[in-house]
Chain A
Amino acid sequence: MIEVENLSKVYGSTPAIQNVSFTVEPGEIMGFLGPNGAGKTTTMRILAGYLPATAGTARIAGYDVHEASLEVRRRIGYLPENPPLYPEMTVEGFLHFVAQIKGVRGRDRLRQVNLAMERCNIEDKRRVLIRKLSKGYKQRVGIAQAIVHDPPAIILDEPTVGLDPRQIIEVRNLIKSLAGSHTVILSTHILPEVSMTCSRVAIINRGQIAVTNTLENLMAEIAGGSGYELEVEGDVTAAQNRLQSIAGVRLVEILPSSDLPENRALFRVLSAPGAEIGREIAAVLVAADLGLYEMRRNQVSLEDVFLKLTTSEPSPNDEIPAVS
């Protein structure tokens, strides 16, 4: 549905994005994740046909966003970074206006506007002037504006910015409900947003795609890097050797710690992908008559991957997940 190939955009001499490629299948929700300034908004604007790319192509529903802009614009709903609203209009009036310029037929307009207001939960403010709305309502009017004409492809740039936690959950549910009948691409710098709403994720950093994968694959790859942190009393080298001997242990390292009591050490034990080593660790340590004071599972989260991918200096034990 959305195909992006080697897209690059250069502002003057600074590249905003370089060789960005990804595809979004029909009915999918793709999360476009990256730190601020990574090139998310630039990519979104190119997809919406608002900015021309310097090189590369982007197609939506088979139409090139640059060559067949009008055809593309008929098929997309777009929420820019700042919701495009006319403060002097009422919510209802604004959505009627948008429906009209998006080509919704007169007889369908009322129904579509009501549906969009219902889905975004803004019916109670339908006759209120937009300039009197709170930021959260404005953001939701912005989302309503992107879905009022029921477009097959929806581009949302930071859809949950400025919302309170309850509204965030509502908007996430709304986005999830769009899956299947709509193809959605949403950008965000908030990780839980991706894990909660998206089926696929593309991580972008400094204008380049670091990873694209389904969320399950990404998490599975990362789960390989999970392990335990242990606080052990006794002979440090003996403990290390014992731990090393367990099948499924990939790495044992001693973590520096200054505030531990005498004769204790902190270990990090990383498991091989798929291996579950918790039981063995406890058994081995008890059998060796070593004291186990703390044992904590250390699940690598999406945050860790994100930080790994978007921080320039990798620490020695970091393993970048394979790009697929």
Chain B
Amino acid sequence: MMPSIVSNIIAIYRKELQGYFASPLAYVVAGVFWLIAGIFFVAILLGPEGIIAQAALRDAQGQQIGVPLPPLDVPYEFLKIFLQIMGSLSLFVLPILSMSLYAEERKRGTLELLATSPITNWAVATGKLLGVLTFFTTMVLPLLGYEAIALSASSPPIRPEVPLLGHAGLILLAASVLSLGMFISSLTDSSILAAFLTFGLVLLLWVLELIASSLTGFWLPVGEALRHLSLLKHYNNLVGGNLDTSGLAVFASYIFLGLFLTAQSIDALRFQRS
């Protein structure tokens, strides 16, 4: 039983990857992502308000008052800001990647093939999530290249766990959003609708922290609970180099929830005796 599930997941995974690399939309999304990421990269590092300019300004201020200010940890600050912005940018890009995961299968009628094959909904959903996540990881890889070039110039060298945690956080954030987006995509046969609904959900998760902090008094515990669900808060923790297990648990829960709901929603199509 086990090998056949793995073989099914691999089959779906390969089909999905092939679909992404054959899709013009995926290339456009990746291209726009790289372009915007590149602009931010340059602006944050070298721009007039950029990190290097700020560090220089701070040194100059220190010299003026005669007391040197504590120096800015340029590589760390740079990576933190850059990854935070990449996180926000991803929230716009991910709904476009997840929108057609199931909507397109429903529209083309290929869901009828998947649903009448001896393959479980879990295997299909897992294969699809791994596929789209691989594509997103491919989109992130070139950024690692520029970062490596910039950070290699830093002295003393940056602690390796900082970029490692930050990028792992980015992938986890993406996996959570994609998993929920996949569920939304399984509810409709319109990709556009799925993209908008997913984007709405992402916005909600984004502002959760704002809502949480506006709750006071009696509602304070609710606010605390909501704050814990915020994806960006846990992401920013990881980007800051703090590995907190509760954050990892939240990401894992979102991913599992998305997979579970997707499997249920496809099952419901088949098993509701209306």
Contact = CB atoms under 8 A, between A and B. Distances in A.
A11 B116 CA distance: 21
A50 B270 contact: yes
Most A C-beta atoms less than 10 A away, residue of B7, B118, B273: B118
A80 B273 CA distance: 21
Contacts of B113: 78, 80, 84, 98, 145
Nearest to A131: B22
Most A C-beta atoms less than 10 A away, residue of B15, B113, B120, B273: B113
A73 B118 contact: yes
B18 A80 contact: no
A14 to B, nearest CB: 12
B128 to A, nearest CB: 13
A86 B118 contact: no
B23 interface: yes
A225 interface: no
Interface stretch (A99-107, A197-205, A246-254): A99-107
Contact of B117 (A52, A73, A88): A73
A85 interface: yes
B64 interface: no
B270 A86 contact: no
Interface stretch (B90-98, B104-112, B177-185, B248-256): B104-112
B214 interface: no
Contacts of A52: 270-274
A10 interface: yes
Given A80-B109, A88-B19, A88-B22, A101 B8 contact: yes
B104 to A, nearest CB: 10
A98 B11 CA distance: 9
Nearest to A54: B273
A209 B233 CA distance: 62
Q: Chain A interface: which size bin?
A: 35 or more
A69 B115 CA distance: 10
A73 B114 contact: no
A193 to B, nearest CB: 22
A152 interface: no
B4 interface: yes
A89 B15 contact: yes
B119 interface: yes
B118 A103 contact: yes
Interface in A245-263: none
Nearest to B21: A88
A50 B18 contact: no
Q: Chain B interface: which size bin?
A: 20 to 34
Nearest to B11: A100
B12 A49 contact: no
Contacts of B117: 73, 98, 101-102
B101 to A, nearest CB: 14
A88 B20 CA distance: 10
A156 interface: no
Interface in A87-146: 87-89, 93, 97-98, 100-103, 106, 145
Contacts of A53: 273
Contacts of A106: 7
Contacts of B112: 45, 48, 50, 78, 80, 84
A93 B18 contact: yes
A17 interface: no
A48 B113 CA distance: 10
A74 interface: yes
Contacts of A145: 113
A175 interface: no
B270 A69 contact: yes
A10 B119 CA distance: 27
A6 B271 CA distance: 19
A49 B8 contact: no
Contact of A51 (B8, B11, B109, B270): B270
Contacts of A49: 115-116, 270
Given A52-B270, A53-B273, A101-B117, A88 B109 contact: no
A146 to B, nearest CB: 9
B116 A78 contact: yes
7 contacts: A48-B112, A49-B270, A52-B271, A73-B118, A78-B112, A101-B11, A101-B114
Interface of B: 4, 7-8, 10-12, 14-15, 18-19, 22-23, 108-120, 270-274
Given A49-B116, A84-B113, 7 more contacts: A50-B115, A73-B118, A78-B112, A78-B113, A97-B14, A98-B117, A102-B118
Q: Which 8 A-B pairs have the closest CB atoms?
A: A84-B113, A88-B22, A100-B11, A84-B110, A74-B118, A73-B118, A48-B116, A82-B109
